[in-house]
Amino acid sequence: MRHDELKVLSDSGAVYINRIRSVLVLLYVLAIIASFNRNSTLQNVLYFIATGGMALYSIGFYFWHARSPIPRKIAKVLVVLDLLLVIMTMIGGSLTVDAAQGTLRSPLLYLIIVMIIVYSAYLLDPAFTASITILGALGSVGLTAAAHFAGIQFTWDAEQALERGYSPCSTEISRFLFLLASGMVTRVILRLAQRALGVAHALNDGLESQVLERTSQLSESLESLKALKHQQDADYFLTSLLLNPLGGIFAKTNAAELDAWLKQKKSFHYRQWEASLGGDLVAAYNIRLRGQPYVAFISGDCMGKSLQGAGGALVLGTVFKSIVSRTALAVSQQQRYPEQWLKSCFLDLQTVFETFDGSMVTSATIGLLDEQRAVLYYTNAEHPWTVLYRDGQARFLEQETRLRRIGFPWIEDLFYLHVTRLESGDTVIFGSDGRDDLILGKDKNNDYIINTDENLFLQSVEQAHGKLEPLSNVLSGIGDFVDDVSLLRIAIPDGHGPETFQKTRNPDVRFIPPDQLSVEAKRLEDAGGIQSGDPAHVRSLFTIYQRMGDPRAADAILRYSDLRPESNSVLLGAVRILKNHGRFAEAVDASERLRLRDRKLVRNLEILARLHRTLGNTDRERTILLEVDGLRRSLRGQT
């Protein structure tokens, strides 16, 4: 133990000893009073001297200790005085035979010596305790000698020892050995206690050092965590800065209202900025295809939380923006039909995401909006179904999803898309699956109840009247979002639907006499020809050309298909006319576009196979024929 701790314990021991001393004084006084008449005058005087002296320095101890701690040396001197006074009393009271015999037969004084030996250990000095033991033993020897000089005879005969003037030798030897044994045992116990205290102190020191070391380690770990979190937040912030220019409504159009709502699950604070990060992405751009304005858009949900999802969104947004930029710069890209552009866009994204070997995939809806005709082209890769809000009612445009997420291995021939014409006042909403993943509450097991009813979103759209801000409030009121959620809205304003054509009053050209066909054709050509924006006008001109066997019928049907792009039957008619007029490459082009829209249209697939055989594309012909065969077997199985 350290010196200061030893001193504190020793000071406390001296106080305890003095308390015991005070009790002994009281007992001495009571014993003197009780035996006053039996004792000799000398014994009473010695008892009073010893008791009075002990009482005086016991009281003096209290006054001294009240002002300052008692030095250890003084405490030891007082213990020695205690023992000497007891020994003096014992020896002084043994000057006559009767007095000596009474003293020898009284165990009280010996017990007091033992008590002094024991409480000397309170000073925490084994050597001092041993000294007190030896002094006590010598006192016992002195008492025996004094008794002998007073006339006491010591004998081994037990019966004789009971007679006056005799004392048993065995008793004196036992008392002497008992005093030594008591002192040695007390000393051993004291040393064991000191060792135990030393071990405890060492353990405490070790524990304290371990606590300090552990606290230091925890502090270092906390600082490391703070540094890592700061670095992580910096990474989050930089990633969010990279994502910002990739997501948003960048398209400008009067033909539709475009707006987006995005809520990423991961929010963070970096320096003075508050930001969020996630795997959802919404973007819309202007492009031109075949001279017509379109809005190219994407609604994506990349796999993973926070940084992983953001990494996917970064790739998705970058590739999609590069495709849009390439379309703006490359004339060859601008000559593509919407179906071809969407397939090419999907393939580019698929090629990039496939390089990650499945560790980065994304669901997405990619589409085009024909601004002039309000025709919507889109493909859905395992994204939540598209919602059409019309006349106060919401419904899903899709009934099934066949495409897997972008990034999974796939078969190119599985690609397909949807084409639909929007009406004035229509609203279309695309969104990630976070729109459905709402916490509705907790069950009896205190587990979260997650919404599984996809129709809940339809009800919410109707309640919000197809507006995104009210829709987000409705969803938030239903439950808490558990994932990133993004919404993209395309609305056709009232009065801005498909172009309203001023139809020319044309007779039913199917019943015009053959000799009048050229006259009617001339009249229609003078009224705008196939460049007219009136579908009925162009259709009439096509019918006349067809009846006349004029090869310009192929151009007319292509123009009519451009004016009615949502009609698969018109496109199929164009395929047949182009084939009949020997324009096989254009026929293949139109047939492949129709195949992307409807893969179960067997008539188109049969024509497409024959066209590829005519052009010498035998591998492609074989692929189409296998597809036709599979459809026929499927139809036979259903019947």
Query: Domain count of the chain?
Result: 3
Do 254 and 131 share a structural domain?
no
> Token digits for 136?
């006590």
Which of 154, 189, 209 corresponds to the end of one domain? Answer: 209
> Token digits for 150?
């007073």
Burial code (b: 16+ CB inside 10 Å, e: under 16) for 131-142 equals bbbebbbebbee
Do 346 and 421 share a structural domain?
yes
Do 271 and 182 share a structural domain?
no
> Token digits for 555?
């151009």
CATH of the domain at 604: 1.25.40.10
Do 257 and 287 share a structural domain?
yes
Place of tokens 């900025």: 273
Do 179 and 316 share a structural domain?
no
CATH of the domain at 285: 3.60.40.10
Do 278 and 190 share a structural domain?
no
Backbone angles phi, psi at 542, to 5 degrees: -65, -45
Low-confidence ranges of the chain (pLDDT < 50): 1-3, 5-6, 500-504
| pLDDT tens digits along 400-426 | 877 889 998 876 667 889 999 999 999
Q: Is residue 231 domain-resident? A: no
Do 427 and 542 share a structural domain?
no
Q: Is residue 559 domain-resident? A: yes
Q: Is residue 500 domain-resident? A: no
The overall pTM is greater than 0.75? no
For 424, 605, 624, the CA distances from 630, given in Å and listed in that order, are: 40, 12, 10
pLDDT at 364: 95
Q: Is residue 234 domain-resident? A: no
Do 267 and 146 share a structural domain?
no
Q: Is residue 216 domain-resident? A: no
Place of tokens 């003037």: 165
Do 540 and 487 share a structural domain?
no
pLDDT at 185: 65
Give the structural domain span for 353.
244-433+483-491
Task: Give DSSP secondary structure letters for 169-184.
Answer: HHHHHHHHHHHHHHHH
Q: Is residue 441 domain-resident? A: no
> Token digits for 30?
């009571």
Do 598 and 560 share a structural domain?
yes
Q: Is residue 161 domain-resident? A: yes
For 78, 84, 314, the CA distances from 62, given in Å and listed in that order, are: 13, 21, 84
Which of 209, 229, 260 corresponds to the end of one domain? Answer: 209
Which of 462, 491, 520 corresponds to the end of one domain? Answer: 491
C-alpha to C-alpha distance for 253 and 174, rounded to whole angstroms:
119
C-alpha to C-alpha distance for 177 and 213, rounded to whole angstroms:
52
Do 248 and 199 share a structural domain?
no
Q: Is residue 416 domain-resident? A: yes
Do 265 and 186 share a structural domain?
no
Place of tokens 């030896």: 134
